[in-house]
Structure 1
Amino acid sequence: MSRPAKGPLVGLRIVEFVGLGPAPFAAMQFADMGADVIRIARPGAEAAPPDPICGRGRSTVEVDLKNPDEAEMVRRLIDEADALIEGFRPGVMERLGLGPDALLGRNPRLVYGRMTGWGQTGPLAPHAGHDINYIAISGALAAIGTAERPLPPLNLVGDFGGGSMFLIAGMLAALWSAQRTGEGQVVDCAICDGAIQLMAMMHDMAAAGWWRPGRASNLLDGAAPHYGAYECADGAFIAVGPIEPQFFELFRKAIGLEEDAHALRADPRNWAALRERIAARIRTRPRAEWLALLEHSDACVSPVLDMKEAAEHPHLAARKSFVELDGLMQPAPAPRFSATPTEARARPRTTIALADALSKWGGRSA
C-alpha cells in the first residue's frame, strides 16, 4: 500500500505525458513536494534511458492515444487536473487532439506546461536537438571548458537547470494566477531561454568589465588559481574556492604558501604561476590529510567526490540528502519545508489502470 503524500503541494493534480529528461525530472519534483501526478505512457513503452529515479512518486497509466475511446478518457482525466506536463515537439499534442486550445476549452483553469529545447516558436522549433545544442546558442557552452575547447557540463545547465527548473517555476507561477483568476494558460518553457537566464550573472560581470572573452580566462571558469580543482598525492582531487581575501589567507597559511601569494592572485597575469605553486603544495599530501586540515574551516576546501562517495559523505549523511528506494540509492526530495515537510523517503512509482485513475480523480470538475 502506497504511503500518503506529504509536502506543500498535497492536493495538486498533474497529468504527465511520459517523455525525456527535463519533463520527467520536473514531474518528479512536483511529486516529491506532494502533488498527485499520473503519468500517461504508451503501451509497452519504457523510458529511454530507464528512469527508476526520475520516474518515482507517480502512478503510470498505459494508454493508446490513437484509440478514440482511451484518448477521450484521458481528456476526462485532464478535466479533473490542475496542470499538465508534456515534452514533445511542437504540434505532436495537437495532432493527438490534446493541444492546449482543446483542453483549456474543457478545463479553463488548466496550466499547460510545455517543455522543449527550442520552444514552441522560432525557426528551430520543429527541429531535433539535445542539451549540447541548446546551451551552445545560449552562450553557456562557449564559457565552459578548457582554453582549447568547450566541454559539455553534463546536461545540468540545459536540460535540468535551464529546462526543468524553469518549467517548475513557470508552472507554479501560472498555478498561483489560476488560483486567483480561475484562468489557466500555456507555459512555454524552452531550454535555450532558461540557459540564457542562467547566464545573467556572467552578463552582469561582462557589463562591469569583469569578464574576459575566451574560456579559462575568468574567476569562475577555471582560470583563477584560487577557484579550481587540484590533485593530491594519492591521485584524488580537492576543490579549492577561497575567493575572499580572508578565506584565501587561511588557505595560504594552511598549505604553506608565501605571503606574496596575495599579490600574485590580484593580477591575472600571474595566475598561471600561482596555480603551479599551489599545485606543487597540494601534491605533497593525500586528500585525507588536506581535508583533516582544511575541510572544517573557512578555507573553502572540499573533496571532489564521485556519486557513490557523495552518498557516504558525513555532511550529506547527516542531512539525509540521499535515500534508498526500491534498492537504489538516490537523491532525497529537496528543498526542505518547515511547516509542510515532504516525505523523508521519496514515494515509489506505481502502475494503475486508466479507469482507476479516472475514478480516483472523478467528480471535482462537476
Structure 2
Amino acid sequence: MTHLPLDDVRVIELGQLLAGPFCGQLLGDFGAEVIKVEDPGRGDPMRQWGREKPHGQSLWWPVVARNKKSVTCDLRDPRGQDLLRRLIAEADVLLENFRPGTLERWGLSPDELHAINPGLVITRVTGFGQTGPYAPRAGYGSIGEAMGGIRHVTGDPGRPPSRAGISLGDSLATTHACVGTLVALHERGRSGRGQVVDSAIYEAVLAMMESLLPEWQQAGYQRERTGPVLPNVSPSNVYPTGDGEAILIAANQDSVFARLARVMGAEALAEDERYATHGARGANMDELDGIIAAWTAGHPADELLRLLHEGGVPAGRIYTAKDMFADPHFAAREAIVRVPHPDFGEVAMQNVAPKLSSTPGRVRTAGPALGQHNEEVYGGLLGLSPRGDHRPVHGRSHLEARNPPMRYRLGVDVGGTFTDILLIDQESGRTFRAKTPSTPHDQSIGVLAGVEKACAAAGVSPDEIGEILHGTTIATNAILEGKGERVGLVTTAGFRQVLQIARSFVPGGLAGWIIWPKPEPLAALEDTVEAVERVAADGTVVTPLDGAR
C-alpha cells in the first residue's frame, strides 16, 4: 500500500462543530495525523448533532471526525494550557475556530506559540476574520453566507432568501483554510517559518460569488434570486418527464444546443434567430424552456436520458442518497465507502476527494470515542507518566482513569417522556434530583439536561462524577444509596444512548447494567459488571436488590 501524501504532517485540532473540523477532515483524508483536543466534560458538540441518531449517536460525527485521534484537555485550566504547549512543540499545524481573542486570553497567542515552535502553521477559522471591526462578533456559517452574498441569490423570485440545505459557509471557509494551510506548509519549506492562516466565513463565501462585484461596480446590476435557472443562460433548467420524474438539461453552449435540437428532432431550432446564439436563447429563455418541456414530457425518464447521453447532451437526475447507493458509476469509482464502527457495524460515507493517481487519500477510521487516544498521545508521543510530576491534567485522560474520583455518583432513568437523575455526594450523603423531558427518538437530550440540572443544584461540575448507573428510578436509587448491587435495568435503545453519554465524562462509561432484551453477551461489552438476573412474571428482567432474591 502506498504512503499517504500528508503522513509527515501532525495537526492539533482545537475546533468544534464544522468550521474548523472539516479542514481537519480534509487534511486527515490525505494522511495527516490529526489529534483532536476536546473538552473532557462534553467533547465536540458535533457528537450529538444530526437529525437521525441511531443508538443516540450522531451520524455526522463518524464523517467529520474520521481519521482523527481524540484526546481530552481542559484548555480553561492553566495545567491544560501547559499540556497543549507540549503538543504544540511536536506539531506542524494548529487548527482552531474559537472567537478571536480566546487563544490570547489563555496565553496561547500566535507569538507565544511561535516562541515554542517557530515552524508552526496556525490556521484560524472565524465568522469575520481576526481583524476589522466585526472580528469580536460571534459568527456562524449562516451569518457568513448572508454577509458573503450567497443567501441573497439563493431561492425562488418573490420569496425570502433560502438556505442551500447544507452548511455551505462553514464548508467553504474550511476548504479555503485547508488550501491556506497547505500553501503555508509549502512556504515553510522555503523559509522554515510558520505563519497564521486567517480564514473568514464571509470572505470564503464572497470568493465564490463569480462576477457579482464587478456587475454592480461597472454596470449597476444587482443579482437576484432566479430559482432553478441562471438569467440569460438557456437552456439550463429542470424539465418534466412522461413518468412523473424531473431531469436537468444543461445545453446552453451553441454547439451543445445544436446537439439537443438534433436529439429532439428539431434541428431548425438551432438555426432559428431566436435561439441560434447564446444571447438570443437567454433573451427568449421562457419560450425555449416551454418547447423543451413539451418534448421531455413525452418520454419516460430512462428513455430520455439514454437519448440525451447518446446525443452528447449533459443531462441527469436530481439524486437523493438512495439514488447514489444504487448508481453504478458511484460504485465503479468507489465514491461511497463503508467504514467499520463499534456501534453501527459499518457506516457508509463519502470517499476522499479528489483522487490522486499515485498517493490517493484513504478513509482509515470513523470518528473516535472521546479521549480514545489519551494514552497513545500523552503517554506515547509526549512520554508523560500517569503518575509522574508532569502527568497531564485535563479532566479524565485514560492515563488517570484507573483511579477516577468517586465523590459523586449519578443514576439515570431514561423514560419515554421524562428522564430522572439522582446525584449523590459520597462524602456528605446529600442527594440532588432532577427531572427533565425526554423523547424516545432522542433520549440523550433529556439525559444531558438532567445531568446539568443536578450538577447545578449540587454546585459541581460533571468532571467530578466518578460513576454512573442506568436503570429504573427505584432500582438505581437503591443501588446508589448502597441498598443493592451494582446493576441497573435498561432498554436496548436507552442503554446505547446513555452509554455514549456516560463515556463522554466518566472513565469506562457505565459502572454496571442489565440489558433486556440482551442484544449481545454482557461479557462482550467494556467495563461491565455481570449480575444475577431475575425474570418477573411479565418477562422483564429485574435487579436482585437486597431482600428480593
| Residue segments in structure 1 that go unaligned for 5+ positions in a row | none
Q: Secondary structure at the match of 1:59?
A: strand
Could you say if the C-alpha distance between residues 295 and 96 of structure 1 is closer, same or farther in structure 2, counting changes exceeding 3 Å? farther
Q: When the two structures are superposed, what TM-score results if normalisation uses the length of structure 2? A: 0.60
User: Which one is further off, 44-53 or 197-206?
Assistant: 197-206
Larger Rg: 2
Superposition deviation, residue 211 in structure 1:
7.1
Superposition deviation, residue 205 in structure 1:
6.8
Counterparts of 1:141 and 1:99 in 2: how far apart (Å)?
Answer: 34
Indicate whether 1:74 and 2:94 are aligned.
no
Counterparts of 1:69 and 1:203 in 2: how far apart (Å)?
Answer: 48
What corresponds to 1:86 in structure 2?
96
1:78-227 equivalences in 2 (<5 Å): 78-149=88-159, 150-155=161-166, 157-161=168-172, 163-203=173-213, 213-216=223-226, 221=230, 224-227=233-236
Indicate whether 1:303 and 2:317 are aligned.
yes
User: Which one is further off, 233-242 or 204-213?
Assistant: 204-213
Contact 2:212 2:223 in 1 (8 A): no
Superposition deviation, residue 362 in structure 1:
4.0
What corresponds to 1:354 in structure 2?
374
Deviations 1:32-61 (A, max 9, x none): 000000000111424332421111000001
User: Which one is further off, 104-113 or 245-254?
Assistant: 245-254
What corresponds to 2:241 in structure 1?
232
Counterparts of 1:209 and 1:251 in 2: how far apart (Å)?
Answer: 33
Amino acid at match of 1:232: T
User: Which one is further off, 307-316 or 324-333?
Assistant: 307-316
What corresponds to 1:252 in structure 2?
261
Contact 1:233 1:284 in 2 (8 A): yes
Superposition deviation, residue 17 in structure 1:
1.0
Higher normalized contact order (CA 8 Å, seq sep 6+, divided by chain length): 1
Contact 2:256 2:313 in 1 (8 A): yes
User: Which one is further off, 285-294 or 203-212?
Assistant: 203-212
Could you say if the C-alpha distance between residues 189 and 40 of structure 1 is closer, same or farther in structure 2, counting changes exceeding 3 Å? same
Counterparts of 2:233 and 2:163 in 1: how far apart (Å)?
Answer: 20
Amino acid at match of 2:5: P
Superposition deviation, residue 64 in structure 1:
1.6
* Bigger helix fraction: 1
Counterparts of 2:3 and 2:380 in 1: how far apart (Å)?
Answer: 18
Superposition deviation, residue 307 in structure 1:
2.1
Indicate whether 1:17 and 2:14 are aligned.
yes
Indicate whether 1:7 and 2:4 are aligned.
yes
Taking every aligned residue pair, what percent have the same amino acid on both sides? Answer: 31
Contact 1:90 1:126 in 2 (8 A): yes
Superposition deviation, residue 124 in structure 1:
2.2
Contact 2:69 2:373 in 1 (8 A): no
Indicate whether 1:330 and 2:335 are aligned.
no
Contact 2:144 2:201 in 1 (8 A): yes
Q: Secondary structure at the match of 2:225?
A: coil
Q: Secondary structure at the match of 1:125?
A: coil
Counterparts of 2:281 and 2:221 in 1: how far apart (Å)?
Answer: 14
Contact 2:234 2:282 in 1 (8 A): no
Superposition deviation, residue 6 in structure 1:
4.1
- Alignment size in residue pairs: 357
Q: RMSD of the TM alignment (CA)?
A: 2.7
Counterparts of 1:301 and 1:247 in 2: how far apart (Å)?
Answer: 11
Counterparts of 1:186 and 1:52 in 2: how far apart (Å)?
Answer: 29
Q: When the two structures are superposed, what TM-score results if normalisation uses the length of structure 1? A: 0.88
Amino acid at match of 2:269: D
1:309-324 equivalences in 2 (<5 Å): 309-324=323-338
Contact 1:225 1:278 in 2 (8 A): no
